[in-house]
Structure 1
Amino acid sequence: MKRPIIVLGIGELGSVFSRAFLKNNYPVYPITRQTNIDELANIINPELILVCTAEADLQNALQSIPKQWKDRVAMMQNELLPRDWQTYNFINVTVISVWFEKKKGMDSKVLISSPTYGKKAQILLDSLALIDIPVHMLNSKEGLLFELVLKNIYILTTNITGLAIEKGATVNDLRNQHLDLMRHVSNDILALQAQLTGQTFDAKKLEQGMIKAFQGDLEHKCMGRFASVRLKRTLELAKAFNLSVPTLKKIESKHF
């Protein structure tokens, strides 16, 4: 009998992971806002705990994880970087950069294969394969960091540029009709990612990765429902680092 998997946050993506784990014969225990997590920790010894909350709820979720579970934590949020979990003394965390989406009333839609790294990565790969979601293993923390930055560049560039161009524009429109603006936005975002990680990254390689993701769904809309929130959060981070992000400021002034 396999040990259970805890899924913290049962939203759209949490439901996808839960289905995958169940298909892989893992019992699944959901944690919602009503769950007493410390009480649960006293009676369950899980294989892993997957944090599936929204980005805005991540820090509260990570703070709530009991000490006895800190060696089996996995995360899958957008805008995720090591600084988000490094203060919690987790041991050998597992992270997956999710390149599939799940919206209410529709099945999950894959853009490209999702990279994963960490102690429990094989479980994520094997389980998601059972519901036809491709995942591949990374072999280093450096590889994971690049993939997280790539996903951040993709999400933030498409969303924020979407605020400045025609309503309903797709990523195909973005690369074909607004390439200069796209590059200016992504350069600002990359400068911030460098500050947040203390690392430098190959801008050309990141752009190639972003274009590859575009090709996974050329009709994907640029401006998601959290675009304004993402712009505001990005500008607040840039301000905290006293970082100049001229294109993002220009988009803010026109949008608000």
Structure 2
Amino acid sequence: MKKPIVVLGIGELGSVFARAFLKNNYPVYPITRETNINKLANTIDPELILVCTAEVDLQNALKSIPKQWKDRVAMMQNELLPRDWEVHNFTNPTVISVWFEKKKGMDSNVLISSPAYGKKAQILVDSLALIDIPARTLNTKNELLFELVLKNIYILTTNIAGLSIETGATVNDLRNNHLDLMRNVSSDILKLQSALTGKNFAEDELEKGMIHAFKGDLAHQCMGRSAPARLKRTLKLAKSFNLPVPTLKNIANQVF
């Protein structure tokens, strides 16, 4: 009998992972707002704890992880970087950069393969494969960092650029008709990612990765519901580092 897996946050993506784990013969324990997590920690010994909350709820979720579970935590949020988990004293957490969507009433939409790193990464990859979602393991922390920054560049560039172009614009429209805007936004985002990580990244490699993701779903709309909140959050972070982000400020002046 396999050890259970705890899924903290049973939203759309959490439900996908839960189904994948069940297919892989892992018992699944969901944690909702009603769950007494400390009581649960005293009754089960899980294989891993996958945190599936929204980005804005991540810090509170990570704070709630009981001490005895800190050596087997996995995360999958957008806008995720090492600084988000390093303050919580986890032991080698597992991280997956999710490149599939799940919206209410729709099946999962895969853009590209989702890379995962950490000691529980293979469980995520094997489980997702059972529900036809491609994922792969990474070999180093540096590879993971690049993948996280790439996902952040994709999410933030498409969402924020989408605020300044026509409603319903797709990533294909962005690439073909608004290339300068795409590059100016992504350049501002990259400045912030470098400040947040203390690392430099190859801008051309990130653009190549972003275009590859575009090709996974050319009809994908740029602007999601959370785009305005993402822009506000990004500007606030940029201000905390005194970073010049002129394109983001211009878009904010149009929107707010």
Fold similarity call, TM over 0.5: yes
TM-score (norm 1): 1.00
Deviation at 1:120, TM superposition (A): 0.2
Q: Is structure 2 residue 64 aligned with structure 1 residue 55?
A: no
Deviation at 1:240, TM superposition (A): 0.5
SS of 2:98's partner is coil
Structure 2: how far apart are the matches of 1:254 and 1:105? 33
Structure 1: how far apart are the matches of 2:212 and 2:124? 23
SS of 1:30's partner is strand
Structure 2: how far apart are the matches of 1:115 and 1:42? 32
Residue in structure 1 matched with residue 93 of structure 2 by the alignment: 93
Q: Is structure 2 residue 255 aligned with structure 1 residue 251?
A: no
Deviation at 1:46, TM superposition (A): 0.2
Residue in structure 2 matched with residue 219 of structure 1 by the alignment: 219
Deviations 1:16-39 (A, max 9, x none): 000000000000000001100000
TM-score (norm 2): 1.00
Q: Is structure 2 residue 187 aligned with structure 1 residue 180?
A: no
SS of 2:87's partner is helix
Deviation at 1:252, TM superposition (A): 0.2
Residue in structure 2 matched with residue 15 of structure 1 by the alignment: 15
SS of 1:154's partner is helix
Deviation at 1:108, TM superposition (A): 0.4
SS of 1:199's partner is coil
Structure 2: how far apart are the matches of 1:83 and 1:7? 22
**Equivalent AA in structure 2 for residue 159 of structure 1:** N
Structure 2: how far apart are the matches of 1:106 and 1:192? 33
**Equivalent AA in structure 2 for residue 90 of structure 1:** F
SS of 1:85's partner is helix
Structure 2: how far apart are the matches of 1:160 and 1:109? 21
State the identity as a percent.
Answer: 79
Structure 2: how far apart are the matches of 1:9 and 1:115? 21
Structure 2: how far apart are the matches of 1:171 and 1:40? 43
SS of 1:46's partner is coil
Deviations 1:141-191 (A, max 9, x none): 000000000000000000000000011000000000000000000000000
Structure 1: how far apart are the matches of 2:106 and 2:80? 25
Structure 2: how far apart are the matches of 1:30 and 1:217? 31
1:1-256 mapped onto 2 (5 Å cutoff): 1-256=1-256
Q: Which runs of 5+ in 2 are unaligned?
A: none
SS of 2:95's partner is strand
**Equivalent AA in structure 2 for residue 84 of structure 1:** D
Deviation at 1:100, TM superposition (A): 0.3
Structure 1: how far apart are the matches of 2:199 and 2:160? 23
Structure 2: how far apart are the matches of 1:13 and 1:57? 14
Structure 2: how far apart are the matches of 1:242 and 1:205? 26
Structure 2: how far apart are the matches of 1:176 and 1:192? 25
Deviation at 1:202, TM superposition (A): 0.2
Cα RMSD, aligned residues only:
0.3
SS of 2:116's partner is strand
Structure 1: how far apart are the matches of 2:56 and 2:137? 27
SS of 2:163's partner is helix
Structure 2: how far apart are the matches of 1:181 and 1:220? 17
Structure 2: how far apart are the matches of 1:254 and 1:23? 47
Structure 1: how far apart are the matches of 2:35 and 2:137? 32
Structure 2: how far apart are the matches of 1:254 and 1:231? 12
Structure 2: how far apart are the matches of 1:239 and 1:14? 33
Structure 2: how far apart are the matches of 1:254 and 1:219? 25
Structure 1: how far apart are the matches of 2:169 and 2:220? 8
Deviation at 1:92, TM superposition (A): 1.1
